[in-house]
Amino acid sequence: MAETASENVTSGALASAEPQATGYSWYVLSVLVIVYILNFIDRQIISILAVDIKADLGLTDGDMGFLGGAAFAVFYALFGIPLGRLADNWNRVKLLSIGLTLWSAMTALSGFAYNQLTLTLARMGVGVGEATASPTAYSLISDYFPKRQKATALAIYSSGLYLGGGVSLFIGALIVEAWNKAYPVGGPAGLVGWQAAFLAVGIPGLLLAMWVASLREPVRGAMDGTPSPSSPTPFAEFGKDLSMIVPPLTLIAAWRRGPAALAINIGFAAAIAAFAWWMIRLTGNFPQWSAVALGYYAVFSWASALRARDPATFKLIWGTPAFICTTLGYGLVSLAAYALAFWSAPYAEIILGLPKQELAFILGANGALSGFVGVIIGGRLADALRAKNPAGRILMIIFGVVAPIIPIWIGYTTDNATLFYVMNFLAGMFGATALGAAAATTQDLVLPRMRGTATAAFFLGTTLVGLSFGPYMVGQISDLAGTIVDGKPVGDLRTGILSLIGVAPIALALLLYAYRAVPEAEATIAERAAGA
């Protein structure tokens, strides 16, 4: 009895000595969720506006897929790299506030776009601003919550993705319908409904940025018992990172590392340019493939420079197959998720003939609820699986690959609106279960000082793989499978969306490898970093 009592006291003492999340931690998390909701409103509102934009600017499904995908995603991914490093080295609260101001302003400016080029430029600006959000938020959450609650906290934060995406549909439809009813032949400054919608959702972010600026910056690494100071020269490091992704500065940086590095850089640039040229000839879509080529070249240049400058960080990210396979595997989950998020509303409006406000309300609520439920349940289950098995979280990502297949097939082959809505809900919920698990896994595979960079690398998978290709792939296949009516192309969105099922086997193969590799990779973090 005495021994048992002693054990209980010792256990209680150890538990109380562990880092604890405070009430302020949950307050900060709440603010970050609101920021992420607005992040996805600004990012996803183009989905419900797609039919109007397409008609107004004379665009194809492939063009709209580019605007909803690579036009935003490439710049989001690229600037996420230096901004992720800046989040590792500078005040994360200030960085997030500045980024929020930028992307909100660029969203508002989208309302003045008058052709594909001007809308593309605005979408690029939104991408640059939003690149500050998740590197700073993930790093802040890691320093406000202990490891045992990390997946849950990240899952709660990630719920903003689905809430924002859902709300964006409803808000966009409401504004367009109200504006077009009030101004049937054009409103003030000649603006039409979709332009007014961009203005309406962009302006509030400027006010939210001031709230974000009031948050406290936590001690970096404190929750892991390894407090680490910020860099004394954060902007010098940021400038170096920026020069490693912006041509032709990339060539100068490679030359400074030696003739061999320059030759490799030029060789990769030539190879990716040749691939882009071939794809442009094949598809006729110059913006998509030139943007993707720029993105992949810049990532290669940055990774090569990182290898020379910070071999430990390179080793734990790019040199760790478990990290790469987890990121790419989830990137393919996000490919399907982003494609459905962008095209489900235009599909319902065009193929099923549903009214814009009705489908926006139901699909918006569907997206918000299914995503929120899926990501919260997935996060909790991922933490529970992780407690029993170091690779347990990977099982949750695998579920997010396999489970949505049947709902996608049923939902996008039926002509019954109710069945479509139900299946769309299930597909969204099942896919959302993977996010918290994937994010937490990648955070646990690096040292605390590397988390912002690791987050940026993780989001390369969800952007350069998922968002860059998901909406575009559906749009391009829709154009290829479509017909010509009255001299105008009419796409086949049903075929385009069903093509998403084809990526599941690739994602599954990557994640099965990650399941085997994660335990050893996590157990040898310090050893591999020291030996880099």
Per residue in 35-50, pLDDT (tens digit) is 999 999 999 899 999 9
Q: Please count the CA atoms within 13 angstroms of the CA of 478 that sit on its side-chain side.
A: 28
Q: Residue 30: how many CB atoms within 10 A of its CB?
A: 12
CATH number of the domain at 23-216+233-243+310-525, out of 1.20.1250.20, 3.30.930.10, 3.30.479.10, 3.90.1150.10? Answer: 1.20.1250.20
Rounded to the nearest integer, the mean pLDDT of the chain is 89
SS3 state at 156: helix
Per domain, the residue ranges of the chain are: 23-216+233-243+310-525, 244-308
The pLDDT confidence band at residue 18, using thresholds 50, 70 and 90, is low
Residues 6+ apart with CB under 8 A from 182: none
pTM: 0.83
Contacts of 333 (CB under 8 A, 6+ apart): 397, 400, 401, 431, 434, 438, 466, 507
- Band (pLDDT 50/70/90 cuts) for residue 244 is confident
Kindly tell me if the per-residue pLDDT of 5 is higher than 50.
no
pLDDT(65) > 50: yes
Q: Which residue has the tokens 């969105």?
A: 493
For helices 23-57 and 321-350, the axis angle rounded to 10 degrees is 50
- Between CA 151 and CA 438 the distance in angstroms is 9
Span 259-283, pLDDT tens digits? 999 999 999 999 999 999 999 999 9
Report d(CA 108, CA 200) in Å as an integer.
7
- Distance (Å, rounded) from C-alpha 387 to C-alpha 181? 56
Backbone CA torsion sign across 460, 462, 463, 468:
positive
The fraction of the chain above a pLDDT of 70, given in percent, is 96
CB distance 165 to 367 below 8 Å: yes
Mean pLDDT within 222-251 = 80
Q: Is the sign of the CA dihedral 357, 360, 366, 368 positive or negative?
A: negative
